[in-house]
């Protein structure tokens, strides 16, 4: 059973313009938007990232605990290590459904059947540009789709999702034929894929509605990339257009500019549009940090949802408002499990000194606040960075 996570309205402080009926009425709230996480496959395509089987298993466990409905376990034909990871994830008994990934290639499908995968996403390119790159004709693609889906279903695969690579640059009449072929062969659901992030959010919404008119109530997934910095906006547009599922990755990682960020999409849908989501955002930072560690990379501190400094304040002007979170933040830090804190540096003010002293239990000598602030600023400029708590203690002690 899908668990819906509700963010308390009194913890969200966004614009009242979001509440306009013409905006809210554009979204269905009959059921939560669910997430299909592809960090272990599409996310790992980020240059230089190589998860070990143990790391993939741990990531899968964390994703399931965060409420992700489906986890793409990987592509076992890539390596023996990927086979080990898929086998261990399948055996873990996680709450999330475990899905495999395969091309329209019998050997790919058989590799999953041998491991006991019960749910499979099967892909092939559908744009003329991509088909030309692979040397496929349209008729060959249709034949491959039919053969692959029938093989998977005929050999006991419980659920099949057909994934149309580069769908947003495909001839629509042909794309419709491909989807109809996949469904007739036994596919249970389909994915609409913006492989190189080349579709505007407005076009995404239009296309999702168009595909929905072809397939009726068949579950529809949206899979988008971030090449123009619009992956979250496009995922929201896909939901507005009627998509049931969003495929995404932790931290938005992936090839080129990456994929849609699973936590960003969930936060935007929940806080800005009141759309119920099946994701526990209070676990987002924990999962993000582990994936960064395992992937050997770090994110900028201002990254939405999971950035280190989202709820950290250095500016003195902002510190004067620190007591009233809604004045300086659009949602409560607890929604994403983040701490709120004051740091000291070049941009600090007297309010910053008072707040940091209170946090550390320090008594600032009367009349010394201005001198302490001046010393904080001087040291910060000198070191081109923040002042540590220990340095602040020393400064305060020197002014006693």
Residue 18 domain flag: no
* Total domains in the fold of the chain: 2
Question: Exposure string (b/e) for 325-343, b if CB count within 10 Å is 16 or more?
Answer: beebbebbbbbbebeeebb
Residues 132 and 247 grouped into a single domain:
yes
Residues 381 and 276 grouped into a single domain:
no
CB 262 within 8 A of CB 68: yes
Residues 280 and 377 grouped into a single domain:
no
Residue 162 domain flag: yes
Per the model's pLDDT, the better-predicted residue between 1 and 365 turns out to be: 365
CB proximity list for 261: less than 8 A, separation 6 or greater:
226, 231, 232, 248, 249, 250, 251, 252, 304, 305
Residue 318 domain flag: yes
Per-residue pLDDT of 50-61, as tens digits, reads: 999 999 999 999
Per-residue pLDDT of 76-85, as tens digits, reads: 988 899 999 9
Question: Which pTM does this prediction carry?
Answer: 0.95
Residue 22 domain flag: no
Average pLDDT for 210-239? 98
Q: Containing domain of residue 279, as a range?
A: 32-295
Residues 282 and 329 grouped into a single domain:
no
Q: Is the pLDDT of residue 2 over 80?
A: no
Residues 134 and 268 grouped into a single domain:
yes
Q: Is the pLDDT of residue 91 over 80?
A: yes
Share of the chain above pLDDT 90, in %: 96
Mean pLDDT value across the chain: 96
Residues 120 and 201 grouped into a single domain:
yes
Domain stop point among 245, 267, 295: 295
Rg for the chain, CA atoms, rounded: 25
Residues 248 and 101 grouped into a single domain:
yes
Q: If pLDDT is split at 50, 70 and 90, which confidence band does 5 have?
A: confident
Residues 124 and 68 grouped into a single domain:
yes
Residue 108 domain flag: yes
Element (H, E) at 163: strand 159-165
> What crossing angle do the helices spanning 389-398 and 369-383 adopt, rounded to 10°?
140
Domain stop point among 295, 327, 356: 295
Q: If pLDDT is split at 50, 70 and 90, which confidence band does 195 have?
A: very high
Predicted local distance difference test score (pLDDT) of residue 77:
84
Residue 8 domain flag: no
Residue 181 domain flag: yes
Per-residue pLDDT of 141-170, as tens digits, reads: 999 999 999 999 999 999 999 999 999 999
Predicted local distance difference test score (pLDDT) of residue 1:
56
Residues 266 and 340 grouped into a single domain:
no
H-helix segments, the chain: 21-24, 53-65, 80-91, 106-115, 128-134, 138-154, 172-185, 201-215, 231-241, 262-273, 284-295, 316-319, 325-328, 350-360, 369-383, 389-398
Per-residue pLDDT of 305-344, as tens digits, reads: 999 999 999 999 999 999 999 999 999 999 999 999 999 9
- CA-closest candidate to residue 272, choices 2, 26, 1: 26
Q: What are phi and psi of 188, to 5 degrees?
A: -95, -25
Residues 263 and 319 grouped into a single domain:
no
Per-residue pLDDT of 372-389, as tens digits, reads: 999 999 999 999 999 999
Say how many C-beta atoms besides its own lie within 10 A of residue 188's C-beta: 17
Residue recorded with tokens 């499979």: 120
Residue 126 domain flag: yes
Q: If pLDDT is split at 50, 70 and 90, which confidence band does 6 have?
A: confident
Q: Is the pLDDT of residue 272 over 60?
A: yes
Domain harbouring 221, CATH code: 3.20.20.70
Q: d(Cα 184, Cα 7) in Å, to the nearest integer?
A: 40
Predicted local distance difference test score (pLDDT) of residue 3:
84
Average pLDDT for 240-254? 98
Residues 278 and 320 grouped into a single domain:
no
Residues 289 and 367 grouped into a single domain:
no
Predicted local distance difference test score (pLDDT) of residue 244:
97
Domain stop point among 295, 320, 338: 295
């Amino acid at each position: 059973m899908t668990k819906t996570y509700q963010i308390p309205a009194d913890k969200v402080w966004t614009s009242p313009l979001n509440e306009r009926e013409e905006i809210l009425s554009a979204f269905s709230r009959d059921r939560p938007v669910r997430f299909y996480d592809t960090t272990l496959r599409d996310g790992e395509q980020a240059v230089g990232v190589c998860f070990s089987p143990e790391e993939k298993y741990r990531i899968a466990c964390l994703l399931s605990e965060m409420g992700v409905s489906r986890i793409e376990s990987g592509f076992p034909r890539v390596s023996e290590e990927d086979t080990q990871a898929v086998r261990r994830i399948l055996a873990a008994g996680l709450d999330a459904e475990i899905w495999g990934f395969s091309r329209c290639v019998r050997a790919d499908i058989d590799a999953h059947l041998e491991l006991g995968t019960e749910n499979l996403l099967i892909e092939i390119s559908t744009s003329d540009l991509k088909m030309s790159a692979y040397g496929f004709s349209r008729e060959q693609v249709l034949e491959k789709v039919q053969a692959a889906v029938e093989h998977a279903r005929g050999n006991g695969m419980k659920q099949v999702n057909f994934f149309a690579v580069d769908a947003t640059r495909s001839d629509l009449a042909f794309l419709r034929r491909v989807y109809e072929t996949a469904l007739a062969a036994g596919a249970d659901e389909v994915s609409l894929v913006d492989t190189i992030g080349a579709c505007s959010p407005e076009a995404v919404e239009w296309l999702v509605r168009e595909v929905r008119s072809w397939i009726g109530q068949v579950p529809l997934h949206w899979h988008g990339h971030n090449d123009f910095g619009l992956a979250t906006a496009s995922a929201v547009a896909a939901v507005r257009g009627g998509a049931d599922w969003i495929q995404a990755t932790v931290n938005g990682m992936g090839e080129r500019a990456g994929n849609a960020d699973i936590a960003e999409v969930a936060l935007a849908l929940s806080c800005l549009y009141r759309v119920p989501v099946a994701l526990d955002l209070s676990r987002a930072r924990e999962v993000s940090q582990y994936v960064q560690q395992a992937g050997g990379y770090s994110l900028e501190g201002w990254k939405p949802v999971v950035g280190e400094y989202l709820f950290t304040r250095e500016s003195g002007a902002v510190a004067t408002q620190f007591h009233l979170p809604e004045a300086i933040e659009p949602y409560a830090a607890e929604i994403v499990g983040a701490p709120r804190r004051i740091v000291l540096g070049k941009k600090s003010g007297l309010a910053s000194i008072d707040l940091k002293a209170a946090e550390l239990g320090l008594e600032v000598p009367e009349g010394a606040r201005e001198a302490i602030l001046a010393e904080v600023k001087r040291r910060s400029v000198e070191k081109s960075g923040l002042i540590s708590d220990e340095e602040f203690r020393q400064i305060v002690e020197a002014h006693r």
